Amino acid sequence: MITKRFLFVPGISFVEITLGLFISSMLSVFLFQFFGQITKTSKTIGASLEYVTTIPTVFDQLERDITGIYVPEILYEPMKKREAPQTIDAQGKKIKQSPAPEAIEEKEAPEVRPIAFFCESKNNQFMLLSFITTNHLPRFKQRDPERILVVYRLIPDKEYPDSFALVRQQTTDILMPLKKFEENAVVEYTLLRRIKRFKVTLVTPEKEKKPVKAQNQGQPVIAEEGKLAKMEKPKITSEFSWTPDEAKKKMGVLIPSYIGIEGAYADSSGKQMREFKFVFKLYTFAHHADRMQKEREKKQQEKKAKKPLAKDKADTTKKSDKPTSPGKPKPPKKSAPERLTTSGGRQQRRRGR
């Protein structure tokens, strides 16, 4: 049993105070550590939530636009050559008319065609992507979907230094030049900010070469025992920039078969980098490649058909222009009955002699 004398012993109050301070300091340290852990977890959760909300949105928008890429029908047709007006004279020959002075002053504008696909990159860094696609939602009281010209651009981010922003623009005028998009003539929407790296890779199979004629063409090929014929893998080319003329000459198509997008952006804190990588397939590429192959074969057949006609004309001109050699004219050949009569007359003369 504690007595009153023990309670009033000097030094006990000091021990109580020190114990209270020690316990309170331990609690404060624990609370501060707990608060620091909560702030870290909240930042990581916020960054993950930002990644979950932004990246799927960007992926969904890109997928809708890229999977609907197609080539307009006008790009398959040859360029129309504008010829001067002609008239037919009395002999049936065509005579070209000289254009009027008013027509000379007013020069006709060249035929403007849409650009099916265009991509610009500098040092493997994406700058601009333009293509024609279809909106997946049908229009009001119309069966066909709406075709639009979509442009993605990478511009400097004004709010965050040393960063870029991905913006999207679209218009129903597929003939609009790309300069107007850069001049902000079309409303732009920001999809992603704080981008540090952004690269677009365009994958396309190489243009098919003419097959080499085999020596045993038309005969069945018998494989040796224990050896299997190896299938050649299709050669693939990867490009970072795309222009219609170069792509048509090099690969024979106007659009790629696959589009790969990869990059990285900083989170809201600016300390952690978030990477992303997308791959999209163009479902219209197979139909487009077959169509371009048929157009090339058609042109080759037309060229082959024109060559014999040109040769025949050249031969006829050579024969007509060939001069006749001077000299005595050759006697006309005698027919069969004339030969018989002449030979019979000679025999009768010999007998009379």
Chain segment 126-141, per-residue pLDDT in tens: 999 999 998 766 667 7
Q: What is the pLDDT of residue 225?
A: 47
Q: Where do the structural domains in the chain lie, given as residue ranges?
A: 43-76+111-208+234-309
Higher pLDDT, 284 or 235: 284
Phi–psi pair at 155, nearest 5 degrees: -120, 160
Q: Rounded CA gap, 254 and 63, in Å?
A: 19
- Residue 150's H or E segment, with its range, is strand 145-156
Quick one: which H or E segment has residue 184? none
Q: What is the mean pLDDT of residues 156-180?
A: 92
pLDDT digits (tens, 9 = 90+) for 249-306: 888 899 999 999 999 999 887 778 889 999 999 999 999 999 998 888 888 888 888 7
- Mean of per-residue pLDDT scores for the chain: 77
Q: State the pLDDT confidence band at 62, using cuts at 50, 70 and 90.
A: very high
- Token output for 253: 């198509």
Whether the full predicted model's pTM is greater than 0.75, yes or no, is no
Phi and psi torsions of 76, nearest 5°: -85, -20
Reported as a pLDDT band with limits 50, 70 and 90, residue 315 is: low
Give the pLDDT band (50/70/90) at residue 205: confident
Average pLDDT on 181-186 reads: 86
CA distance 288 to 117: 13
